[in-house]
Amino acid sequence: MRIRGNRFPVDEGEWMTVVDENKENPMNSLSQEVKPIKGKRLARSNARKSAYKQVPREDVEKLFEFWRATLGKKALLSDERRAILAWAILNYGTEACEMAVKGCSMSDWHMGRNPNNVRYDSIELIFRNSEKVEWFVEKFQSSSPGQDAGGDPF
More confident of the two residues 135 and 29: 135
* Tens digits of residue pLDDT in 51-87: 767 888 999 999 999 999 999 999 999 989 999 999 9
Confidence of residue 32 (pLDDT cuts 50, 70, 90): very low
Which of 107, 52, 108, 115 shows the shortest CA–CA distance to 85?
Answer: 52
Q: What is the pTM of this model?
A: 0.65
CB half-sphere exposure, 144, CA atoms < 13 A? 0
Give me the pLDDT at residue 129, please: 92
Helix (H, G, I), strand (E, B) or coil at 129: coil
